[in-house]
Amino acid sequence: MQTTFRIRRFNPESPSLAAYDQEYILETEPSDTVLDGLIKIRETIDESLTLRCSCRGSICGSCGMRINGQATLACKTKVISMVSEGGTIQIEPMKNMPIIKDLVTDMDGFWKKIREVQPWLQPKGPHPKGEYVASSESMDHLTGVMGCIMCGVCVSDCTVLEVDRQFLGPAALAKAYRFVADPRDGQAKTRLFELNKLGGMWDCTRCMECVEVCPKGVGAMDRIMALRAKGMEKHVPSTCGSRHAEVFEDLIRQKGVLDEPMLALRTFGLRNIPTLMSYIPMMLRAFIRGKVPKTGFFHHAIPGIRDIQRLFHKMRESK
Amino acid sequence: MTTSYSYDVLVLGAGLAGMRAALAAHEQGVSVAMLSKVHPVRSHSNAAQGGINAALTDRGDKWEDHAFDTVKGSDYLGDQDAIAILAEESGQDILSLEHMGVIFNRNEEGRLGTRRFGGQKKARTFFVSDFTGQAMLHVLYEQILKFQLPVFEEWFVTSLVQDDEGRCAGVVAFDIHTSQFAHFKAKAVIIAAGGLGRLFEPSTNAMICTGDGMAIAYRAGAPLMDMEMVQYHPTTLKGKGLLISEAARGEGAYLLNKHGERFMEKYAPNMMELASRDVVSRAEQIEINEGRGIDGCVLLDCRHLGQSFIQDRLRQISEEAKTFANIDLTKDPIPIRPGMHYQMGGIKTDVEGRCWDTADKWSGVQGLFAAGEVACLSLHGGNRLGANSLLDTIVFGRRAGSEAATYTKMLEELHVGDSHLVDDEAMVKELLNQKPTGDSIAKIRMDLGVTMNKNLGVFRDEEGILIAQESLRELRDRWGRVGVQNNSRVFNTSLIQALELGMMLDCAETIILGALTRTESRGAHFRTDYIARDDEDWLKHILINRDSDGTPRITYVPVRITQWTPQARVY
Looking at residue B520, its pLDDT comes to: 98
Residue contact A44–B108, C-beta within 8 A: no
Beta carbons of B236 and B339 less than 8 angstroms apart: yes
Looking at residue A287, its pLDDT comes to: 85
DSSP calls for B494-538:
HHHHHHHHHHHHHHHHHHHHHHHH--S-BTTB-BTTB-S--HHHH
- Mutation pick from A56, A113, A137 vs chain B, by most beta carbons of B within 10 Å, is A56
Give yes or no for B322 touching A (CB within 8 A): no
Q: Mind telling me how many Å the CA of B323 is from chain A's nearest CA?
A: 7
More confident residue, B284 or B324: B284
Q: Mind telling me how many Å the CA of B202 is from chain A's nearest CA?
A: 12
Beta carbons of A74 and A67 less than 8 angstroms apart: yes
Is the model's pLDDT at B142 over the cut of 70?
Answer: yes
* Mean pLDDT, chain B, whole residue set: 95
Contact residues on chain B for A134, CB-CB shorter than 8 A: 106, 110
- Give B490's DSSP letter: S
CA–CA dist B62, A110 (Å, integer): 45
Give yes or no for B143 touching A (CB within 8 A): yes
Q: Where are the beta strands (DSSP E) in chain A?
A: 2-9, 20-27, 64-67, 70-73, 88-92, 99-101, 104-105
Share of chain B above pLDDT 90, in %: 86
Domain boundaries defined on chain B: 1-50+129-229+344-571, 238-339
Residue contact A58–B98, C-beta within 8 A: no
CA–CA dist B341, B46 (Å, integer): 14
Share of chain A above pLDDT 90, in %: 84
- Counting as low any pLDDT under 50, the low residues of chain A are none
pLDDT tens digits for range B386-434: 999 999 999 999 999 999 999 999 998 888 988 899 999 999 999 888 8
Is the model's pLDDT at B1 over the cut of 70?
Answer: no
Beta carbons of B188 and B404 less than 8 angstroms apart: yes
Give yes or no for B38 touching A (CB within 8 A): yes
CA–CA dist A259, A250 (Å, integer): 10
Looking at residue B329, its pLDDT comes to: 94
Looking at residue B469, its pLDDT comes to: 98
pLDDT tens digits for range A20-56: 999 999 999 988 999 999 999 999 999 999 999 999 9
Q: Mind telling me how many Å the CA of B508 is from chain A's nearest CA?
A: 21
Give yes or no for B335 touching A (CB within 8 A): no
B506-534 b/e (C-beta count within 10 Å ≥ 16 → b): bbbbbbbbbbbebebbbbbbbbeebeebe
For the ranges B112-126, B407-421, B491-505, the one whose mean pLDDT is highest: B491-505
Beta-carbon count within 10 A of B178 CB: 10
Contact residues on chain A for B101, CB-CB shorter than 8 A: 120-121, 182, 184
Q: Mind telling me how many Å the CA of A200 is from chain B's nearest CA?
A: 20
Q: Mind telling me how many Å the CA of B353 is from chain A's nearest CA?
A: 27
> How many angstroms separate the first and last alpha carbons of chain B?
62
Residue contact B47–A60, C-beta within 8 A: yes
Instruction: Please state whether beta strands B230-236 and B334-343 pair in parallel, antiparallel, or not at all (unpaired).
Output: antiparallel
Cis peptide before B378 (omega within 30 of 0): yes
Selection from B511, B423, B375, B475 nearest residue B158 by Cα:
B423
Selection from B327, B396, B356, B380 nearest residue B522 by Cα:
B380
Helix extents (H) in A168-299: 170-180, 188-195, 209-213, 220-233, 240-255, 260-268, 273-278, 280-288
What is the rounded average pLDDT of the residues B9-28? 98
pLDDT tens digits for range A219-263: 999 999 999 999 999 999 999 899 999 999 999 999 998 888 889
Contact residues on chain B for A149, CB-CB shorter than 8 A: 41, 46, 134
Contact residues on chain B for A109, CB-CB shorter than 8 A: none
Beta carbons of B455 and B465 less than 8 angstroms apart: yes
Looking at the domain B1-50+129-229+344-571, which fold is it? FAD/NAD(P)-binding domain (3.50.50)
Residue contact B41–A150, C-beta within 8 A: yes
Give yes or no for B491 touching A (CB within 8 A): yes
Selection from B34, B274, B267 nearest residue B173 by Cα:
B34
- Give A302's DSSP letter: P
Q: Say if domain B238-339 classifies as CATH 3.90.700.10.
A: yes
Active-site positions of B read: 277
Contact residues on chain B for A132, CB-CB shorter than 8 A: 98-99
CA–CA dist B566, B569 (Å, integer): 9
More confident residue, B312 or B256: B256
AA identity, residue A303? P
Q: Supply the ipTM of this predicted assembly.
A: 0.95
Selection from A284, A254, A242, A279 nearest residue A264 by Cα:
A279
CA-nearest residue to A52 within chain B is: B493
Instruction: Please state whether beta strands B181-191 and B368-370 pair in parallel, antiparallel, or not at all (unpaired).
Output: parallel
- Mutation pick from B132, B138, B208 vs chain A, by most beta carbons of A within 10 Å, is B138
Contact residues on chain B for A57, CB-CB shorter than 8 A: 47, 242-243, 320, 324
Q: Mind telling me how many Å the CA of B561 is from chain A's nearest CA?
A: 32
Contact residues on chain B for A56, CB-CB shorter than 8 A: 206-207, 240, 242
Q: Mind telling me how many Å the CA of A95 is from chain B's nearest CA?
A: 19
- Mutation pick from A41, A121, A137 vs chain B, by most beta carbons of B within 10 Å, is A121
Helices (H) and strands (E) in chain A, counts: 14, 7
CA–CA dist B371, B342 (Å, integer): 14
Cis peptide before B202 (omega within 30 of 0): yes
What is the rounded average pLDDT of the residues B526-555? 97
Contact residues on chain A for B131, CB-CB shorter than 8 A: 59, 143, 146-147
Contact residues on chain A for B41, CB-CB shorter than 8 A: 60-61, 149-150
Domains and CATH numbers, chain A: 2-105 (3.10.20.30), 108-233 (1.10.1060.10), 240-318 (no CATH)
- What residues 300-319 of chain B have any CB closer than 8 A to a CB of chain A? 312, 315-316, 319
Residue contact A150–B138, C-beta within 8 A: yes
Residue contact A147–B112, C-beta within 8 A: no
Give yes or no for B156 touching A (CB within 8 A): no
> How many angstroms separate the first and last alpha carbons of chain A?
56
Residue contact A133–B104, C-beta within 8 A: no
Is the model's pLDDT at B118 over the cut of 90?
Answer: no
pLDDT tens digits for range B184-211: 999 999 999 999 999 999 999 999 999 9
- Mutation pick from B23, B38, B42 vs chain A, by most beta carbons of A within 10 Å, is B42
Q: What is the pTM of this model?
A: 0.95
Of B98, B129, B134, the CB nearest to A131: B98
List phi, psi (to 5°) of A65. Answer: -165, 170
Is the model's pLDDT at B60 over the cut of 90?
Answer: no
H or E segment to which residue B184 belongs: strand B181-191
Looking at residue A275, its pLDDT comes to: 87
CA-nearest residue to A40 within chain B is: B442
Q: Mind telling me how many Å the CA of A198 is from chain B's nearest CA?
A: 23
Residue contact B43–A146, C-beta within 8 A: no
CA–CA dist A33, B208 (Å, integer): 19
Is the model's pLDDT at B109 over the cut of 80?
Answer: yes
Interface size, chain A vs chain B, as Cβ–Cβ contacts under 8 Å? 153
Of B42, B99, B145, the CB nearest to A61: B42
Contact residues on chain A for B492, CB-CB shorter than 8 A: 50
